[in-house]
Amino acid sequence: MSLGYSIKEGFAGFGRTKLASATSTFSLFIAVLLAGFLTRGGYALYSLAVDLTDEVQMEIFFAPISDDRIQEFGDYIEEQPWVESIMFTSKETASERFRAEFGDGFGSEALAELDFLPASYTVTMTPETPIEEIQQQVERLEEFQEVDDIAFNAALYQQLRSRVDQSIWVGISVASVILIASIWLVFNTIRLTIYAKRDTIKAMKLVGATNAFIRRPFVIEGVLQGWIGSLLAFGVLDALFRWAVPLAIPQMGIVPWPLGAWYYLALSMFVLGTLIGLLGSTIASHRFIRLA
């Protein structure tokens, strides 16, 4: 009986304050939509930035040494915590690549036969390794007699890494502002609903209704606003990335879903909308029902 009354009154709250409820639901819809848009678009940009960062690799060229010594050195490098993966390029493979890139003209075949291209390891660093530590490792590796030269574009690597970090913090900051604004709007909507029912709330208190019993319908109303806003937001988000974005920017195509599946983001947006509605309505009902 108590739960049924609370649910009924929660739905009825939309009718009592139509404009305020519609405004709050729309604002919550915009907030969840923007959060979803930032998440999906930001994930795509982050993945692209990580891929570009992985393209900036370290190449270690060896002096003329035995194959066994090169293998030992490769095993040593692979064991380092800052190394994600390594790829070996033999002198023969390097010569074949040289011939493939420059052709047989300009004496490239004769140059390749001179056997001047060194064996090398191409090293991909782990994303969490600071640039300072990588530079220290480069300086340390250059001290080995087996190493002839190391090619590593530290400036480009650092710039890409800093852009990735900046994009993450910008996304978190924007999303935080949006969430706070949404909670505030739900808070104000529930406050207006409580004000509209102030006489009824006073009468309920006189006949012995507890604050928790009176508060429940308002919390349900806030949660309903969150559900409606988040479902609408996901539908619009899917339409935007399915049709609008590929039409406006054909080069991007269909932007992939975070973690490779649509339901992760759908569930996150639904939970987010529910939490915004729940927090806003709970704070407002706790505060103003005591004063009614």
How crowded is the C-beta side of 25, counted as CA atoms within 13 Å?
Answer: 18
The pLDDT assigned to 127 comes to 74
CA dist 38 → 168, 178, 254, 259, 275 (Å): 10, 11, 15, 15, 18
Residue type, 287: R
pLDDT < 50 regions, the chain = 1, 112
The pLDDT assigned to 215 comes to 82
Give the tokens for residue 246.
């590929």
Q: What is the pTM assigned to this prediction?
A: 0.64
Contact 115, 95 (CB under 8 A): yes
What domains, with CATH codes, occur in the chain? 2-51+160-289 (no CATH), 57-152 (3.30.70.3040)
Q: Residue 253 — φ and ψ, nearest 5°?
A: 65, -150
Contacts of 228 (CB under 8 A, 6+ apart): 25, 29
The pLDDT assigned to 2 comes to 67
Axis-axis angle for helices 262-289, 18-55 (nearest 10)? 140
The pLDDT assigned to 271 comes to 93
Closest CA to 134 of 82, 70, 91: 82
- The helix (H) or strand (E) run that includes residue 151 is strand 147-151
The pLDDT assigned to 1 comes to 47
